[in-house]
C-alpha cells in the first residue's frame, strides 16, 4: 500500500517558522545572563569594600584598646 504525498500547498507540508522564536529566546537568555553578571560584579565590589571597612575598623579598635597605658600620678606623702 502506497501513501500518496501531501500536496505542496498543504499547511502540514511546511513547518512553522521557528527561527524567529529561537532567536528571541536566545536574545532573552543572553540579556538575563548579562544582568546576572552585572549583579554578581556589583555584589563582589560591595563585599570587597565591606572587607576593607571591617579591617580598618578592627585596626582602629586594636589601637584604641592597646594604646599607651594611662599613667596616673599619685600624690603620696613621703616622710622626708
34 contacts 26 by C-beta, under 8 angstroms: no
Q: Name the residue among 13, 37, 33 with its Cα closest to residue 25.
A: 33
Tell me, what's the pLDDT at 71? 72
Please list, in sequence order, all residues whose beta carbon lies within 8 angstroms of the beta carbon of residue 13, skipping any fewer than 6 positions away: 6, 7
- Are 7 and 13 in contact, with CB atoms under 8 Å apart? yes
Domain ranges for the chain: 25-64
With beta carbons less than 8 A apart as the criterion, state whether 6 and 12 touch: yes
* Residues in the chain, pLDDT under 50: none
pLDDT at 54: 97
Residue 58: the pLDDT is 96
Statement: the pTM of the whole predicted model exceeds 0.75: no
- Reading the block at residue 27, the C-alpha cell is 536574545
Amino acid at each position: 500500500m502506497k501513501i500518496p504525498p501531501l500536496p505542496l500547498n498543504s499547511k502540514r507540508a511546511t513547518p512553522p517558522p521557528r527561527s524567529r522564536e529561537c532567536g528571541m529566546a536566545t536574545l532573552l537568555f543572553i540579556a538575563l545572563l548579562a544582568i546576572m553578571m552585572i549583579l554578581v560584579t556589583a555584589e563582589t565590589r560591595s563585599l570587597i569594600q565591606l572587607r576593607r571597612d571591617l579591617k580598618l575598623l578592627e585596626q582602629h579598635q586594636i589601637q584604641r584598646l592597646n594604646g599607651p597605658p594611662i599613667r596616673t600620678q599619685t600624690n603620696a606623702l613621703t616622710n622626708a
